[in-house]
Structure 1
């Protein structure tokens, strides 16, 4: 048999295999969906294949019943917040008034802590570590309502535990709780918190959920988005940007200011805005076809 005949035979066999795969996907579309789900299961613990993501999932999917997801969210949130609380305690020790270096230290502490812990837990839970992020993923159709609720409870408990340990480890009064600057009105503080969370969730959607140049390294821009949000919000609202982060220190300090609600409502608004922006981009993308 000639070289050209051999190549022709190989090409024909490859074409037959490709056609058989295509026919299998056409007759069994659930197979293709499962394969797409498995592709992202370990890296993100979400399912970006649920296009166009307009139907909310209420009950736990089979892959969401893994206990490792919630264990990773607890220990991940605990480690992330404990590290950040201790950095904030060091930065705030002996501080009085506005100090740019203190703002940079706290912002870097929260940003780099999120980056490191999200990278280590992404295989098991997606490294959400924040009820606001989990809420955004629920609104986007990536996780179920039950998983969002379970993750949020686990994250808030982890935040309280981290605050208690940080308070015990670092001497003096709790200095890492959120406090609004007196020059900032409550309404402004609310929308500053909303913007900071919108920036974070927007980054999560466009780097971790959407195909992006970062691939499996989405935790890098996500960590930097939190760093940027803290640069904006530390001098104004104290930078909650995470209900678990805000609630834990308030419990440890036994102090809930009258405006504490902004650290819950702001993240809700921010998540909604980020998901809405993501949907608008997807709808107006000519390459994206609605199912």
Structure 2
């Protein structure tokens, strides 16, 4: 999940009546430029990538849950975990270079708090992610509706406190990994999708039976809206966000060091990528 920069960073130079360069255009023009950046074609393409990516992520992941229930547990917990992990991995490689492959409001907010994502673009990204999730849940509801209708969302299987803590920890872990592989130029960037997908797989494997292993407010909100099932929804809207923000900030704290690179790690694979370090 690569870091995304907002706008193209280019600012025009306006000439005054004497033909001299004026680097401070009128307020109205500045406002127009900001509007163009916010609603530019590339930004709309990013939003489209987030909608489509979130749709396929939720469709694949939640479909594995529904099919597992409707077909005598044929998919199983390991299978569901693998589906979620593979879905994240292939989508990161598919659209990560377009939108950053967030697919998760918690990730978007965490990046924004670290100033690695434009704050003004956060509402649009979150809206795109929730839209994609809701559309996916709606599709599954149409395909698998019947006497054995299955809720594809998430709900606590124990106490609310247990669910809150588990969601915080697994989202912290996920965002810590994302920050490491996607924002640190000492990491092997080509393996970002594999690392993030594997983290999701691990989290779903042990936390799925407890909370559904959401780690993603959009993942929980979409199915909840479609099924009108809001049990414990406040947990899935708050805990992942807090966990993601904490994970991003903790990684930023351990990222910086005065030690030479060779003292940070002795890993051969790490050192091979040191030529890319800034």
Q: Output the TM-score relative to the length of structure 2.
A: 0.75
Counterpart in the other structure of 1:81: 58
Task: Give CA deviations for 1:247-285 in whole Å, capped at 9, x if unaligned.
Answer: 11111211111x210001111210122022112102445
User: What is the alpha-carbon distance in structure 1 between the residues aligned to residue 67 and residue 35 of structure 2?
Assistant: 41
How far 1:286 sits from its partner (Å)?
3.8
Farther-moved stretch of structure 1 (101-110 vs 77-86): 101-110
User: What is the alpha-carbon distance in structure 1 between the residues aligned to residue 228 and residue 57 of structure 2?
Assistant: 22
Counterpart in the other structure of 1:70: 47
Give the 3-state SS of the residue equivalent to 1:176 in structure 2. coil
How far 1:217 sits from its partner (Å)?
3.1
Cα separation, partners in 2 of 1:285 and 1:75, compared to 1, 3 Å: farther
Q: 1:179 aligns with which of 155, 162, 166?
A: 155
Equivalent runs, 1:1-291 vs 2, <5 Å: 44=2, 46-47=4-5, 62=37, 65=40, 66=42, 67-93=44-70, 102-172=76-146, 173-181=149-157, 184-257=158-231, 259-286=232-259
Task: Give CA deviations for 1:68-106 in whole Å, capped at 9, x if unaligned.
Answer: 1111111111111111111111122255xxx89722122
Counterpart in the other structure of 2:269: none
User: What is the alpha-carbon distance in structure 2 between the residues aligned to residue 202 and residue 87 of structure 1?
Assistant: 26
Verify the 8 A CA contact 2:171 2:215 in the aligned structure 1.
Answer: yes
User: What is the alpha-carbon distance in structure 1 between the residues aligned to residue 247 and residue 39 of structure 2?
Assistant: 24
Segments of 5+ residues of structure 1 without an aligned counterpart are 1-42, 48-58
User: What is the alpha-carbon distance in structure 1 between the residues aligned to residue 214 and residue 37 of structure 2?
Assistant: 33
How far 1:45 sits from its partner (Å)?
5.2
User: What is the alpha-carbon distance in structure 2 between the residues aligned to residue 266 and residue 205 of structure 1?
Assistant: 18
Segments of 5+ residues of structure 2 without an aligned counterpart are 6-33, 262-278
Cα separation, partners in 2 of 1:61 and 1:218, compared to 1, 3 Å: farther
Verify the 8 A CA contact 1:45 1:124 in the aligned structure 2.
Answer: no
Verify the 8 A CA contact 1:241 1:263 in the aligned structure 2.
Answer: yes
Counterpart in the other structure of 1:56: none
How far 1:135 sits from its partner (Å)?
1.2
Greater C-alpha Rg: 1
Task: Give CA deviations for 1:157-196 in whole Å, capped at 9, x if unaligned.
Answer: 1110000001112243133121211xx2211110100111
Count of aligned residue pairs for this structure pair: 230
